Chain A
């Protein structure tokens, strides 16, 4: 069974700090990587996608991918209380199947 693992948290950071969320995956052939944010009781919403090694920045968010080490991370700069949510990592497995494998999520709390 292909797996995506995340630390469940809660990860607690002060307002204005950098929050670092990590995700590891087991399928070495994985090609597409996604970070979704989910507020309590709400639906997941895509915040970042990354497909090649390195960093990808979008506003306060930076996704980092290292395929050799099989991890993908999400950095949130200048964290705000509104960033408090669960962050889900999702990875597409290799081959024709292209199935999306979800992690269980990391709960982030940004304290004012």
Chain B
């Protein structure tokens, strides 16, 4: 089954404790991205990757890191989480940026205390 898998689905952590949210897709997609979704602000792109070892900032990259060492995986790293990073996070992938039919993971609800 074609899917984008995110883990964990729910995470409660404390300020400053490094965490990683994993994302994996099995569709051989080149393009992957991370979004956060907040009430009244909609979906905002954090980082994206056009292919292996090619990543770039989205609209709200501050406080986040990503890597793309393999085509299928695109983890999101919060080196020192802060309460303003409490949000619902989605990983998405598409065949390429141009097609833009994006497939989303189930989401990770993060609370930073």
Contacts and interface: CB of A to CB of B under 8 A. Distances in A.
Interface of A: 32, 34, 41-46, 49, 88, 90, 92, 98, 100, 102-105
A7 to B, nearest CB: 14
The majority secondary structure among interface residues of chain B is loop
Nearest to B33: A100
Interface of B: 40-43, 45, 88, 90, 97-98, 100-107
Contacts of B104: 43-45
At the interface, is chain A mostly helix, strand, loop or mixed?
strand
A49 B42 CA distance: 20
A43 B105 contact: yes
Contact of B43 (A32, A34, A42, A44): A44
A44 B101 contact: no
Contacts of B107: 41-43
B43 A102 contact: yes
A105 B42 CA distance: 8
